[in-house]
Structure 1
Amino acid sequence: MQAQQQGAGPVAVVVVTWNSAEVLPGFLDSLPSGMAGLDWRLVVADNDSADDTVAVVRKHAPEATVVETGRNGGYSFGINAALRAAAAWEGGFGAVLICNPDVRMAEGCAAALVGALGTPLPDGTEVGISVPVLHEEDGELIHSLRRESSVTRALGEAVLGNRRAGRFPRWSELVTAPDAYAGRTEADWATGALLALSPACVAACGPWDESFFLYSEETDYCLRARDLGLRTRLEPEARARHLGGDSRVSPRLWSLLVVNRVRLFRRRHGLPATVAFRSAVLLRELSRAALGREPARAAVRALLGAPRSPHQEV
């Protein structure tokens, strides 16, 4: 089976938790079906939960490797802690599956994702990251594929809105074309609720960037992988549900998402382009703030007054 040829060790199923006790039982119960056909081991990095998260893991998955990080250092911090623990397993690990605890994989989802890794592509690159077709809890398709940020795409989203602009590759980061989710589609990056990483990708990209506490860490990782010839591809035979979506309603999380988009853009582009990109993002948030949307108001405040630090370039 191709899925078993991604490394000598088992697939490392990496989950980062923080006060996740409510959603964990469903995730853990769904793993045997979702991971069917694979040799796998679970490693949970808990970022200092104040609830019963760790107890839930130990009860429902006593064989799991549990890393209690001791502090909430962010999503990348947790992923890196989990990968270090998996590297210490006898024989190490093969492919990696990065999962949010509020993901529910359909049967055989992981095998389809892992089986796609390493597939050669016509341009001489290969699949280093594979992602499933994601649906909301109510069954609605999640547009999880993304194009790399650009000034024109940020402006298009500001003027037209994400979904309308998504029909035009030049004018939106969001990929909304139905056929993109019906076949094997390469993208610059994909949302990080569920990602399979090849051993080659893990080795080439190294640690996840811990300067992103939350949001844009998967963007950074996928773009770094792409730069190294390891592409992100949607695997239509792999399906999962994602119960999340807090960033849509929480002003704090939405403002963090928006600011981190600009920070990442600054790392990959010069100052003039970053000023234009930041202005386009600000225009989008201002237009929504004018409609009374509190998350957008929080994002405007963050963009205009975000404190500078060694890890914050904007």
Structure 2
Amino acid sequence: MSSGIEQGSAVREKVAVVVVLYNSAEHLSEFVTSLPVGLGGVDHELIAVDNASTDGGAELLESLAPDATVVRTGRNGGYAAGINAGVAAAGPHTAVLVLNSDVRLLPGCVPTLLQRLRATGAGIVVPRLTDADGRLIESIRREPTVGHALWEAVLSARVAGRIGRLGEVVTDPRAYEKEQRVDWAEGSTQLISRRCWDVCGPWDESFFLYCEETEYNLRARDAGLGVLFVPTAKAVHLEGGSSVSVDWLWSLQVTNRVRLFRRTHGRASTTLFWAVTLGREISRAMLGRSKNRAAVRGLLDVRRLRGGVVAR
């Protein structure tokens, strides 16, 4: 596919907006209404991928946005699989905007992201996120390492993230006031250039949920493109509740981190990363936290660490 839509000697931007639906009906009316504000007149195509929802979300979106393309996968293959199906169904485009259905773009978000995408040559650009109450969402991340895992286990992620580069999660609010290259960022709102997609290929569907954006962002970085955090582009992530067990979700997140780490590290480093992670989860489980007990079980399940999980 062409990397752009030519118009004379200039490239006319067209953004493929991809949203993955899984029982997301409660968010869709406000999601569709808010899109024009954040897109600011940018030419776009909305592609909604329904991962076998049971709440009528696909039909609701068709009624709210008749021009949208709705892809029914017939299965819940996970977030990455949904994104890939959406991009595969899109018409010609110069960039892909991946959005959660509970994201609300603020005025001018997408034009600002597009401008910085082209001006800097980054492969992926992400906005500054706040929650429904206006609080900063700490969305910037560093690459997972044994050191980051150890410091977060000892100090907590919040404390480690405020001290130099000790933590993986960047929790110093001052970092969110400046534009900067980052290793990866939370995946609810990411604008990906067509060139980045062509170079890096589709998202890794072996990560059903969690770490799929980590893997893709690090892949873009290693390809010389990378991720740019743009604080002047802003969005709200409602971070709504889920009908899925919180314990199961946390266990999945923890085990997927070990799986991702193993992709690019040897046995000794991976064993150490796993041991540090297991120690952290055991220490929290001893405080009576059920989600950490679930993570301990997941970390001791060899099958999950090797192959991931399927829909629950």
TM-score (norm 2): 0.92
Q: 1:30 aligns with which of 16, 27, 34?
A: 34
Secondary structure at 2:114's aligned position in 1?
helix
Letter in 2 for 1:93: H
Q: CA deviation at 1:175?
A: 0.9
Partner residue of 1:111? 111
**Distance (Å, rounded) in 1 between the aligned partners of 2:96 and 2:190:** 8
**Distance (Å, rounded) in 1 between the aligned partners of 2:103 and 2:122:** 22
**Distance (Å, rounded) in 2 between the aligned partners of 1:194 and 1:218:** 10
CA contact (8 A) 1:118 1:128 kept: no
2:74 paired with 1:70: yes
Counterpart mapping for 1:226-245 below 5 A: 226-244=221-239
Letter in 2 for 1:203: D
Q: 1:21 aligns with which of 25, 29, 50?
A: 25
Partner residue of 2:98? 98
2:184 paired with 1:189: yes
**Distance (Å, rounded) in 2 between the aligned partners of 1:7 and 1:216:** 33
Q: 2:278 aligns with which of 276, 282, 299?
A: 282
Counterpart mapping for 1:134-213 below 5 A: 134-213=129-208
Name whichever of 57-66 and 283-292 sits farther off: 283-292
**Distance (Å, rounded) in 1 between the aligned partners of 2:206 and 2:149:** 23
Q: 2:292 aligns with which of 293, 296, 302?
A: 296
CA contact (8 A) 1:108 1:238 kept: yes
Partner residue of 2:247? 251
Secondary structure at 2:253's aligned position in 1?
helix
Change (3 A) 1:23 1:112: same
Change (3 A) 1:7 1:218: farther
Name whichever of 75-84 and 162-171 sits farther off: 162-171
Q: 2:85 aligns with which of 78, 81, 86?
A: 81
Q: 2:43 aligns with which of 39, 45, 56?
A: 39
Q: Which runs of 5+ in 2 are unaligned?
A: none
Change (3 A) 1:134 1:309: closer
Letter in 2 for 1:305: D
1:153-206 CA-to-partner distances (Å, cap 9, x unmatched) read 100000000010002344210112222210102110000010000111111110
CA contact (8 A) 1:7 1:199 kept: no
Secondary structure at 1:153's aligned position in 2?
helix
Letter in 1 for 2:152: E
CA contact (8 A) 1:11 1:38 kept: yes
Q: 1:215 aligns with which of 210, 213, 220?
A: 210
RMSD: 2.1
Corresponding residue pairs, total: 302
1:49-95 CA-to-partner distances (Å, cap 9, x unmatched) read 01110111111101001100110001111001000000xx2xx1111
Name whichever of 244-253 and 227-236 sits farther off: 244-253
Secondary structure at 1:118's aligned position in 2?
helix
CA contact (8 A) 2:299 2:305 kept: no
Q: Which runs of 5+ in 1 are unaligned?
A: 121-125
Q: CA deviation at 1:309?
A: 7.7
Q: Which runs of 4+ in 1 moved over 4 A?
A: 4-9, 245-249
Letter in 1 for 2:66: P
1:130-158 CA-to-partner distances (Å, cap 9, x unmatched) read 11110111111010000001101100000
**Distance (Å, rounded) in 2 between the aligned partners of 1:308 and 1:7:** 45
Give % identity: 51
Change (3 A) 1:22 1:306: farther
CA contact (8 A) 2:106 2:234 kept: yes
Partner residue of 1:123? none
2:128 paired with 1:133: yes
**Distance (Å, rounded) in 1 between the aligned partners of 2:296 and 2:240:** 20
